Structure 1
Amino acid sequence: MSRGIRVTVRGAFDSLSPGQRETLLASAADHDFLNTSYTPEGYLAYDVAARPFFTFRYLIEAADDEDLDVTATRGELLAVEWLDTHGYGYKNLTAAAVDPAEVPLGARGRRTAAKNH
């Protein structure tokens, strides 16, 4: 059995060429922080016009017994692969994994859950 784990990988672009920066700026609307989602292929969000930072969001299927740290590393490797494939330098990568099933419900979530039971 498996479960969907949310992995967030953060970092900063490093040593972008003027052409790379221009390419990122031209695609910025497709990578808006306001429309992010966790997807199997990963969602890349950035605002290079304001700062060099980026975030990848992955929804990774993990075995029930897979440690969250292992899943976070898998997400980080996916981000590195994408960055390397596209020729972008990067630094300060960090990755964190969260199992949504283990996140406590807030007040709104508790009310919704109570109504459904």
Structure 2
Amino acid sequence: MFRVTIRGTFDGLSDADRAALLAGADAFVAAFTEAGTFTGDAGLSAFTFRCQVPADPGDGEREATERAVAALDAHGYPYRILRVAVTDMRDIKIRRKGRRH
């Protein structure tokens, strides 16, 4: 599983796009989902898009980025990408604290 964060700017949103984004905006919902979630500023100029992408055994950051951009494209808003960060969750190690008595 990959978690991809795309930071970008909206580029020429229509009034309908703005209304849809504002109606669906919830600053407290910044979850990684397969469809992706947006957070952004009140003026809808900049955004952060968070997307969770399934990983096949041979997949790397390039494939994860391509799938996340496809999820971003599916929303249909015009944008410009500024930065992409990819975290391979397969590499994350969880340290569990032992129980103390």
TM-score by length of 1: 0.67
- The answer for the alignment partner of 1:70 in structure 2 is 63
Instruction: Measure how far apart 1:50 and its partner are.
Output: 4.2
Kindly indicate whether residue 98 of structure 2 is the aligned counterpart of residue 115 of structure 1: yes
Q: Which amino acid aligns with 1:59?
A: Q
Counting matched residue pairs gives 99
Instruction: Measure how far apart 1:55 and its partner are.
Output: 1.7
For structure 2, the 5+ residue unaligned runs are: none
State the alpha-carbon separation in 1 of the partners of residues 35 and 14 from structure 2.
Answer: 26
CA contact (8 A) 1:7 1:57 kept: yes
Name the CA shift for 1:40/1:17 in 2 (closer, same or farther; >3 Å): closer
- Equivalence map 1:1-117=2 (5 Å): 4-29=1-26, 32=27, 34-47=28-41, 49-50=42-43, 52-83=45-76, 88-103=77-92, 110=95, 113-115=96-98
Higher relative contact order (CA 8 A, sep 6+): 2
State the alpha-carbon separation in 2 of the partners of residues 45 and 89 from structure 1.
Answer: 15
Name the CA shift for 1:59/1:68 in 2 (closer, same or farther; >3 Å): same
CA contact (8 A) 1:75 1:95 kept: no
For structure 1, the 5+ residue unaligned runs are: none
User: More deviation in 19-28 or 51-60?
Assistant: 19-28
TM-score by length of 2: 0.75
Instruction: Measure how far apart 1:69 and its partner are.
Output: 1.8
Over the residues paired in the alignment, what is the CA RMSD in angstroms? Answer: 2.4
